[in-house]
Amino acid sequence: MKFLPASFILFAAASTIPAIGQSSTKSNLVSPTAGATVASTSTASAPATPTTTPSATTVAKPAETAAPALNAGAIRSDIARQDKVIKNQIDAQQSLLKKNQELAKEAAKLDEKNRKLADKNKKLEAKNRAFNTEKKTIEAQNADLVKKNEAIKAAEKPIATAAR
């Protein structure tokens, strides 16, 4: 665990200082398999110089541990971001569900009112039909009375002219 902060420092230095970032050991940092190959060849060869072997092994090990540590941090931050997004989506869906339930209750109330109004409308239509029927009957009676009135007036005129 003491090695992990050192790898962060090396990685930060490699990315901020151009001279370190452009060194020849950069190829070891790029691919973890290349670092393992360098380390195995340097330990397998007997006449290796002590200055080359420790630098290759030191650079190879931080590269191997730094990449997973950074990837783990990136993965953790990505997971945290995704978790936050998912929690926001769940919260939004729960609020939509509550709103939909409220709207469903309101729709049920409106449906009940609509049903009552439809019943009332049917009753009013029935009353209107009855009124129209009564109106037609009264108009027919009125027409009969007008005819009778005209007949009575017609019958009275000859009497009035004969009396003069």
Of 28, 31, 83, nearest to 56 (Cα)? 28
Helix axes 3-16, 52-163, angle to 10 degrees: 80
Query: Residue 71's pLDDT is what?
Result: 84
Distance CA 158, CA 152 (A): 11
Residues 53 and 43: beta-carbon distance below 8 Å:
yes
Structural domain boundaries of the chain? 3-163
52-163 vs 32-44: helix axis angle to the nearest 10? Answer: 170
On the 0-12 / 13-18 / 19+ scale of CB atoms within 10 A, 25 is: middle
Residues of the chain with pLDDT under 70: 1-6, 8, 10-11, 13-70, 158-164
